[in-house]
Structure 1
Amino acid sequence: MVLSHATIREVAERANVSISTVSRILNGKSGHRASTVESVRRIASEIDREEAQSAASLQAPESIGIVMAAFSDFLNTSYNSTLISAILEALTVEGFTTQFITRCYSQMNAVFFRNVVRSYRLKGLLIPEFDISYAVSRELASFGIPVVSIGNRNGAEMRCNICVDDFSAGCDAATYLWSLGHRSFGFIGMSQLDIGQRQRLTGFRETIRELGGRPEDIWIREFRHIGDSTTLAALELSRMPERPTALFSTNSLMTQKLISDLHRLGIDTPEDISIISFEENGELEFLNTPVTVIAQPTRQMGKAAVNALVRLLHGYPVEARHRLDYALVIRESTRSCKPHNLNTEEKK
């Protein structure tokens, strides 16, 4: 047996035998127990393999890591697919090798991040939807490589964060619907465990209060998973004697589902209910009724994150928090409120 990377001394130390014993066994000499021969040959192969892997890792280029929590269909959402596509495109243009690393939420701890940085020889780290990692922000800042987070950081100790002002976006959605004469509101979105979702709802509610409305009367339905059905929410709305005249949605996929479910129940947009939604990449523009949206600059967020990381790698200063502008895009799903909110039965 010929050693490619291991030395006889290394094999002997790990096998707990003499150097001469290893030499005789590897040269095919007899006179040793079968178990000793098997052990020496196995250990020699193991050391060879380990050394080869180590040599390969040293030759591999340093890369940029994208670390993201994975859940069912997580790349099938407009936000995630748009953001990750923009990041990968920008990193490719910059000539970086990329490691896309996913784990479940429960494993996103400091030990995991430290091992990822070491194992993949990362020279920089991008973390989309940073709210999952607030608890380890101090440790991340001490890793000695640039880290750029994407999403509201809520005071986490990060050197650079790319985000949109979700609170103000919720405020603007409320102000616009109020200006159309709406005074009865509904809200659908993902769980408020997500800080961005919580900030959008908080901004919406507080603005309704400031305008003289009653935020405690807002009809609110939250969903835990992107695959959840909106059918029960639509049925509930259809059976309400005085349902909301306007809805604010913070997730474009849920918006599409709810519009479809409401239409099957005879409730149309905007004739029966006005809807304004968050949008990531134009996905609500080409529905039968194009939806009025808070257009989030998702692609620009991905590119801005890569640009910030490149600047940090070159030793240039960056903003601690870089907020990008969203846009209110008025389409056909909202209109002035009718004097009375007639339900389907009354219209018939």
Structure 2
Amino acid sequence: MSIVIDIVFETPPTLPAAASIIIGVAFPQRVKMSDVARTAGVSVATVSKVVNGRYGVAAATVERVQQVISQLGYEASLGAQSLRSHRTNVLGILVAEFEPFSTELLKGASKEVAGTGYQLLAYSSGDGGGTSIGWERRSLARLSGTLIDGAVIVTPTVVETKQDFHVVAVDPHTGPSGLPTIDSDNFAGAVLATNYLLSLGHRRIGHLSGRPDLESARLREAGFRKAMADAGVAVDERLVRVGGFRVESAEAPAFELLSLPDRPTAVFAGNDLSAISTMDVARGMGLSVPDDLSVIGFDNVPESALVNPPLTTITQPLQRMGAEALRLLVDLIAGVERSTHIRLPTELVVRSSCRPFPPPPRASLPLTVRPT
């Protein structure tokens, strides 16, 4: 079957006039059942029987109606389908906003949905950053019952749900609880990142953490502190700042870190976006990455490989997380018994944003004396 991914915004984005014209061209007027009936030369009731798989229609007529449905691109209304069967065969992916993390998860889910008999509805609450507590409850209330049969919620602020259908949470703010969850080993990944910097000789290592209300941020900071303690290196608390997991929120704390008289020689940023922000701030201050400052991130979003220099990071298997969440949701709806908490491993991806400290002496260039 074909895969349909609808992107729904709770608050429609502002578009220029030209964009609205393009969208109008891309999405023509919806084909109605009456259009199918008129083209096929049958009654609307006959088309309804064919669409819903009911008896009483000749095989030749069924074939003709199905051909017209295919030609016209007719799709039954999700609301009407739900009223008839109490099922829509649509699964929701609910996010606070579409950004690199959630987009990678969506890619994985969209691949996994093939062959399941379901279609995918991606829905943004319009809450930038997911800071509004309970955004997922409001989104579920709007979609459940008539539009979706179950939902994958990305980084929900509240994991309890009173909905009468299945929900899977990806990287919930509060960590695993009563809901089926998918996450990665944030603690082990942070230990890996910090140990890598320590292995390069760094001791003044700064940490730009995520939001303190996020379990993933707390685990990454805990992993950083554990690795430092195991190495016998005291954490200078002046080098630990809240970066917030966003480019704009990381700028000020990154500047504060790099403005210290005894600034860090390396920074472990809580995610790739704050790492990229740190690199931008360093560049604006006349510092070179990695010559003057080593930077390591977390997530391995596509942007991490595109910056200059390419960012060394900890990879979360984001697309696999999205695929696992979708598969778990499908299995739960089907009544398949399986583990409802899946934790995936993290790995180090070495690129070009880190170097040993102190840096090796630059080789002197031999002098060439031209004969006079």
TM-score by length of 2: 0.66
1:163–1:54 CA distance, 2 compared to 1 (3 A) = closer
1:65 aligns with 2:87: no
Residue 71 of structure 2 corresponds to none
Whole-angstrom CA distance in 1 between matches of 2:215 and 2:332: 26
1:339–1:155 CA distance, 2 compared to 1 (3 A) = same
Offset from partner CA, 1:39-95 (integer Å, 9 cap, x none)? xxxxxxxxxxxxx997564247342122233xxxx31x2111111232233325533
1:229–1:123 CA distance, 2 compared to 1 (3 A) = closer
Residue 332 of structure 1 corresponds to 352
Alpha-carbon contact 2:241-2:253 (below 8 Å) kept: yes
Larger radius of gyration: 1
Whole-angstrom CA distance in 1 between matches of 2:340 and 2:323: 16
Whole-angstrom CA distance in 1 between matches of 2:216 and 2:183: 10
Alpha-carbon contact 1:230-1:257 (below 8 Å) kept: yes
1:235–1:157 CA distance, 2 compared to 1 (3 A) = closer
Residue 164 of structure 1 corresponds to 184
| Worse-matched range after superposition: 324-333 or 208-217 | 208-217
Q: 1:81 aligns with which of 95, 103, 110?
A: 103
1:313 aligns with 2:333: yes
Alpha-carbon contact 1:164-1:296 (below 8 Å) kept: yes
Residue 264 of structure 2 corresponds to 244
Aligned residue-pair number: 276
* Aligned-residue CA RMSD (Å): 2.8
Residue 91 of structure 1 corresponds to 113
1:175–1:108 CA distance, 2 compared to 1 (3 A) = same
Q: 1:133 aligns with which of 158, 172, 183?
A: 158
**Displacement after TM superposition at 1:219 (Å):** 0.9
Whole-angstrom CA distance in 1 between matches of 2:302 and 2:78: 45
Displacement over 4 Å in runs of 4+ = 52-57, 109-112
Alpha-carbon contact 2:113-2:120 (below 8 Å) kept: yes
1:123 aligns with 2:154: no
Residue 4 of structure 1 corresponds to none
Whole-angstrom CA distance in 2 between matches of 1:335 and 1:212: 21
Structural mapping, 1:191-270, within 5 Å: 191-217=211-237, 219-224=239-244, 226=246, 228=248, 230-270=250-290
**Displacement after TM superposition at 1:315 (Å):** 2.3
SS in 2 for 1:275: strand
Residue 167 of structure 2 corresponds to 147
Structural mapping, 1:18-33, within 5 Å: none
1:90–1:237 CA distance, 2 compared to 1 (3 A) = same
Letter in 1 for 2:151: L
Alpha-carbon contact 1:187-1:218 (below 8 Å) kept: no
SS in 2 for 1:83: helix
Q: 2:202 aligns with which of 182, 189, 208?
A: 182
**Displacement after TM superposition at 1:203 (Å):** 1.3
Whole-angstrom CA distance in 1 between matches of 2:123 and 2:251: 34
SS in 2 for 1:65: strand
**Displacement after TM superposition at 1:243 (Å):** 0.7
**Displacement after TM superposition at 1:298 (Å):** 0.4
1:124–1:269 CA distance, 2 compared to 1 (3 A) = same
Residue 113 of structure 1 corresponds to 140
1:83–1:312 CA distance, 2 compared to 1 (3 A) = same
**Displacement after TM superposition at 1:231 (Å):** 4.4
Show structure 2 runs of 5+ residues with no match. Answer: 1-76, 361-372
Between the aligned residues of both structures, percent identity stands at 26
Offset from partner CA, 1:120-151 (integer Å, 9 cap, x none)? 2x322211113x123x25x35xx2x3322111
SS in 2 for 1:215: coil
SS in 2 for 1:200: helix
1:258–1:62 CA distance, 2 compared to 1 (3 A) = same
Show structure 1 runs of 5+ residues with no match. Answer: 1-51, 341-348
Residue 310 of structure 2 corresponds to 290
